[in-house]
Amino acid sequence: METFAPPRDLVTDPRFGRNREQAEATLTLDVIDSPIRDVISAFNALPHCYTLQSCYGHFLHAAQRDPHSLLSLPAGDIGTVEYRIAYIIFCVEKSAAGGRLTACLRRVTEIDPAYVQFGSPDWFRERLLNTYALQVEPERFRDRDVAIIEYPEALHVQEIRGHFFGRLREVAKTSRQEIGAP
């Protein structure tokens, strides 16, 4: 599955409200990776946005093969690491608030452009207009769900992932404040 394509402009989507209601009705927070449940809740509380999929990002290696593990990388070089990407897929309304949000989401890549991408995945966009992905992935693997990387790079990815979700918390908070929500 390709996970990256260049971002597209917001367009009018007359089904946004209905699609948002359907997404909200089927959202089950207990299936979301626990470290990012608050992030997903914050974005889904915005009237001009909802999330479709997400993943905290997982590191698998010889001593840790559980694909759902939330453990950090251990100390000491462990060799090759299989990294399963951290990402969130957003659907954004074409509105003033949606435009400001999309601009803020684009700027999340400033954390480290070689490791954070913003785009419009085709296979989501074909089903729902105005879908955007933000992901943490080494640039050379940006169109894959999994990357095989060496331990030092995995440590860097882990650090970037922390900054990424921290920045998303800030973006959601700013968006709430802009619309006058608590």
- Asked if residue 106 belongs to a domain, the reply is yes
| 141-167 pLDDT tens trace | 999 999 999 999 999 999 999 999 999
| Buried b or exposed e, range 86-113, using 16+ CB within 10 angstroms | bbbbbbbbbeebbebbbebbeebbebee
- Asked if residue 73 belongs to a domain, the reply is no
**pLDDT average, residue stretch 101-107:** 97
- Asked if residue 154 belongs to a domain, the reply is no
The domain total for the chain is: 1
Nearest C-alpha neighbor of 154 from the set 115, 109, 112, 113: 115
CATH number, domain of 30, equals: 3.90.1150
- Asked if residue 148 belongs to a domain, the reply is no
The residue range of the domain holding 108 is 16-56+87-142+160-178
- Asked if residue 105 belongs to a domain, the reply is yes
| 36-52 pLDDT tens trace | 999 999 999 999 999 99
CB 174 within 8 A of CB 101: no
- Asked if residue 45 belongs to a domain, the reply is yes
- Asked if residue 171 belongs to a domain, the reply is yes
pLDDT at 96 over 90: yes
* pLDDT for 2: 56
Distances (CA, A) of 157 to 15, 49, 56, 124: 36, 27, 12, 25
| Reported pTM | 0.94
- Asked if residue 61 belongs to a domain, the reply is no
